[in-house]
Amino acid sequence: MDIFELDKQYVAPTYARFPVNLVAGKGSVAIDNNGKDYIDLGAGIAVNIFGFCDEEWMAEVTTQLHTFQHTSNLYYTFPCAKLAEQLCKRTGLKKVFFSNSGAEANECAIKAARKYARDTKGEDYYTIVTLRDSFHGRTLTTLAATGQDAFHKDFLPLTDGFCHIEPTVEELRRIVDEKKVAAIMFELVRGEGGVLPLTKEFVAEMVKIAQERDILLIADEVQVGNGRSGKLYSFMNFDFLPDIVTTAKGLGGGLPIGATMLGAKVENTFAPGLNGSTFGGNPVACAGALNILSRIDDNLLAGVMDKSDYIFSTLQGAKGIESVTGMGLMIGIKTVKPAKEIAMKCIERGVLVLTAHDKVRLLPALNIPFDLLVKAIDVLKEVCAE
Ligand SMILES: *Cc1c(COP(=O)(O)O)cnc(C)c1O
């Protein structure tokens, strides 16, 4: 049986896969079962931020594997504690809860916000405001947070207590007057929703409104975080510190990890027993993440911005391209032809790109060599112009 049939017969059909069977990879180059090379501009959806089989990361991970692979959260381990320390020192947040995915990191943020609001304002204050075209995960609660009705309709009823607004100051003012709001949860660049950055004006007003009313701000940095925006976390491009920051994807460099960073207001919201995760803080994942985090430095981030500028300046106004949006190396391209068709043509020509709604989406490894990037962007540009 070939791989396409095997998968079709036995794997739940939740993914619209591209017809590509990857068997190996190194850096930003992936190889399929026919030996064909691809320049990877998707990085496993922003996960492989140092590409495939990064030597330094593999060394840390394998050293830890040979030390021990797992224990429970009933005991202390160094990789987990050290990773928490680094995340706090580099963000200004105070404590970290570890889990295994973005959805789980967001679940924890939602629980923390509900508990904080209940403790400080009363049990009616549970509403969490999120944005239209946001994406926060696939569990029933994070789906409820996700502001895209298309994801909801088959699974009703979802968790109660969420409402979605357009990111305008008027809508935000209206909703905080109307509802008893515990928190506002947002991606500073909505990824799955079409790579849509928030404006500085909206963010500034949101911060002001939240301060006035002691509403918590939860930044979902699962996709845009970990250096992709040109800063370690995307909120650092704006002038505020969120109360809670969630991340996952790129932090693990390819192993599952989720992190919910808790600021001063909520650092002690959870008492022992109020949240947990068997695999959360896994020493192998944390040892790898420590290495990844230590390498997201000014030098790497300057490279991210150089590459970002190159992509924007090359593609903006090019034939067959209507707009280019995003931040750093998280880029959405509205093409004249359907995004899926562009992605398929890129695959034929040895370039892997992603889509998001009606856009082509690029999330390359942060260390993609410039010459490979130039080659891949040339292909994309040609495909769009055809
Ligand atoms: C991918 C993503 C999630 C969900 O992460 P999983 O690891 O798939 O659970 C949540 N929020 C954002 C912004 C994401 O991009």
List, as one string, the DSSP characters of 246-263: EE-GGGGBTB--EEEEE-
What was the pLDDT predicted at 1?
74
Q: What is the pLDDT along the chain (386 residues), one digit of tens a residue?
A: 799 999 999 999 999 999 999 999 999 999 999 999 999 999 999 999 999 999 999 999 999 999 999 999 999 999 999 999 999 999 999 999 999 999 999 999 999 999 999 999 999 999 999 999 999 999 999 999 999 999 999 999 999 999 999 999 999 999 999 999 999 999 999 999 999 999 999 999 999 999 999 999 999 999 999 999 999 999 999 999 999 999 999 999 999 999 999 999 999 999 999 999 999 999 999 999 999 999 999 999 999 999 999 999 999 999 999 999 999 999 999 999 999 999 999 999 999 999 999 999 999 999 999 999 999 999 999 999 99
- Listed in sequence order, the residues at least 6 apart from 376 whose beta carbon sits closer than 8 Å to its beta carbon are 39, 41, 351, 364
The H-or-E segment that residue 81 falls in is: helix 78-91
Give distance in angstroms: CA of 164 to centre of ligand 1.
18
Nearest partner of 84 among 73, 98, 71, judged by Cα: 98
pTM of the model as a whole: 0.98
Ligand 1 atom closest to Cα of residue 138: 9
φ and ψ at 47, to 5 degrees?
-95, -55
Where are the strands (E) in 212-300, listed by range? 216-220, 244-247, 258-262
Dist. CA 93–CA 243, nearest whole Å: 8
* Coil, helix or strand at residue 16: coil
- Say yes or no: CB of residue 105 within 6 Å of ligand 1: no
Long-range contacts of the stretch 198-201 (C-beta < 8 A, 24+): 198/167, 199/167, 200/238, 201/169
Longest CA–CA separation in the chain, Å? 62
* Strands 321-327 and 330-335, sheet pairing: antiparallel
3-state secondary structure of 180: coil
Whole-number Å distance, alpha carbon 306 to ligand 1 midpoint, is 26
Residue 13 to residues 6, 19, 83, 257, 296, Cα–Cα distance (Å): 12, 14, 36, 24, 36
Phi-psi map region of 93: left, alpha, beta (phi>0 left; psi -120 to 50 alpha): beta
Q: Please answer whether residues 276 and 73 qualify as being in contact, where contact means their C-beta atoms are separated by less than 8 angstroms.
A: yes
Best substitution site from 48, 249, 255, 277 to test ligand 1's pocket, by max atoms within 8 Å of Cβ? 249
User: Of all protein residues, whose CA lies closest to atom 11 belonging to ligand 1?
Assistant: 136
Ligand 1 pocket check for 102: Cβ under 6 Å:
yes
> Cα dist. 324→314, 328, 329, 385 in Å?
10, 12, 12, 15
Query: What's the rounded Cα separation, in Å, for the pair 109 and 98?
Result: 11
Rounded Cα distance between 79 and 67, Å, is 12
Tell me how far the alpha carbon of residue 150 lies from the centroid of ligand 1, in angstroms: 17
d(CA 281, CA 386): 48
Question: How close is the Cα of 163 to the center of ligand 1, in Å?
Answer: 19
Give the integer Cα–Cα distance in Å for 52 and 40.
Answer: 10
User: Buried b vs exposed e over 75-102: b needs ≥16 C-beta within 10 Å?
Assistant: eebebbeebbeebbeebebebbbbbbbb
Measured in degrees and rounded to the nearest 5, phi and psi for residue 253 equal 65, 10
Closest CA to 85 of 281, 379, 234: 281
**How far, in Å, is the centroid of ligand 1 from the Cα of 180?**
26
**Token pair listed for 97:** 């809860």
Residue 147 pairs in a beta bridge with 132
DSSP-derived pairing of the beta strands 162-165 and 127-131: parallel
